[in-house]
Amino acid sequence: MISRGTAARRRVSTASATVTAFMAALTLGACIPGDHRGQGGPDGPRPRTAPASTEPLADCPATGVRIQSTGGDAAMGLRALGLELVNCGEHPYQLDGYPVLHVFDEAREPIMLRVVNGAKEITSGFDQPPRQVILAAGERATAVVLWRNLVTDSTVVATNGEFLTVAPAAGQPAEEVDPDGPIDLGNTGRIGVSAWKKADPSTPVPTRPAPPPAPSAVPSSVSPPDSRL
């Protein structure tokens, strides 16, 4: 017969072993790296959900450049989002073209869009052709993303993007960029972007892009104000 004292000691021993095994499992799970397999599709790599961590991000990505937004602006349905690329590496970095954009919905699924290089189908004033830009360490380049919140066909569902990734050029790694609000494209199915241009070193980093120029004509889908009001 097992005494009451012996049975109690066995229960304590069993509970202690269970807790130890549970803590070991938690520790092992914390040490397993996340799944970094690509989630790309026809529109490029999907943005990853940022892990819950209080650790600061690395100062400079492995590519040697960092891309970020400088804020957005809107006027009469025309949207503008500033982009800034900083050479945070130690070597010169060359650009010669347009940023490569991919837009994703709230479920991080890619949105099929036509990207207009130069934005000439969206507004004027951003059609300067690309030029070779060489950034020394610490220098930066800028570009502007443009689109219209315009609905011209009530049978087509309006598109709202929630996430944006930007690559310096085709074939280069993309970074997720804060779009400073929804990318409300209406049902236009297109988004524009200007060419990279070198920023003046003496110019402070803007918090928002310069307001886009006023459109040359009011879109046909926008009704003129009632003069009787």
Per-residue pLDDT, 223: 39
Task: Look at residues 80, 69, 119 and name the one whose alpha carbon lies nearest to residue 210.
Answer: 80
The strand pair at 159-161 and 163-167 is best described as unpaired
168/67 Cα distance (integer angstroms): 8
Cβ neighbours around 165 below 10 Å, total: 21
Per-residue pLDDT, 124: 83
Per-residue pLDDT, 75: 76
Q: What is the CATH number of domain 65-198?
A: 2.60.40
46/224 Cα distance (integer angstroms): 40
217 to each of 86, 174, 222, 224, how far by Cα in Å?
36, 35, 10, 11
Provide block-wise average pLDDT over 10 residues at a time, the chain (229 residues): 46 41 36 34 47 51 95 87 97 96 96 91 87 96 95 86 97 95 93 94 60 47 41
Per-residue pLDDT, 200: 84
Per-residue pLDDT, 156: 84
Interacting residues of 165 by C-beta distance below 8 A, sequence separation 6+: 44, 45, 47, 101, 102, 104, 174, 175, 176, 177
With residue 30 as reference, give the H or E element that holds it.
helix 4-31
Instruction: Tell me if residue 203 falls in helix, strand or coil.
Output: coil
Domain ranges of the chain: 65-198
Q: What is the pTM of this model?
A: 0.66
